[in-house]
Amino acid sequence: MTDAAGTTTPKAPKRKGRKRGGKKRGSAKGKSRVPSGEKTAASKRDTRRPKIPTTREVSAGGVVYRPSDDGIEVVLASRRTRRGQLAWGLAKGGIERGETKEVAALREVREETGMTAEIEADLGDTKYMYVWDDIRIRKTVHFFLMRHTGGNVDDRDDEMEEIRWFPLDRAIKRAAYRGERDMLVKASELLR
């Protein structure tokens, strides 16, 4: 190789045994390179942090839709986050003892929005994790596509701040949480 001054320098030898950014070839996967008895910085940090208790929750909810002159509308409900921000989302809640996920989803829609509906399709579920009062909660929510059949928004509990119909495309953008936006997209695919 020749540099700008015209000096010839030998090429650097190829590196053997390692891929750039990877493990040494032929090394056993999962074997620690830390001598026994020594702790890595990560393991030292882990011992200083208190373990957070974890629990699991299972809920059910629905994407309630109705046809309108401008296309399909879906109902979203708003609630305040712990930080006081308004978050729009789908009606959902815990499955009570003895309830099926379908019955729980219909009940939660009625309680939180005042709407009655009929289930048309299973949209699948979304999973996420959050911490509440120093407890880690791993949550699974089963969602259903529901056709609006009636009801009155004044006949709902006070958990939600506001209930509003949105054009489907706008609802997808307005929903605060990725998992619920994903459910709205699935509903959109079934309804088009």
Q: What is the pLDDT of residues 57-75, one digit of tens each?
A: 999 999 999 999 999 999 9
Tokens of 101: 């996920």
Instruction: Provide the whole-model pTM.
Output: 0.71
Q: Does residue 143 sit within a domain?
A: yes
Residue type, 13: P
3-class secondary-structure state, position 168: helix
Burial 157-178 (b: 16+ CB within 10 A, else e): eeebeebebbebeebbebbeee
Q: Does residue 23 sit within a domain?
A: no
In the chain, how many domains are there?
A: 1
Q: Does residue 60 sit within a domain?
A: yes
Q: What is the CATH number of the domain that holds 83?
A: 3.90.79.10
Q: What is the pLDDT of residues 131-150, one digit of tens each?
A: 888 889 899 999 999 999 99
Q: Does residue 169 sit within a domain?
A: yes
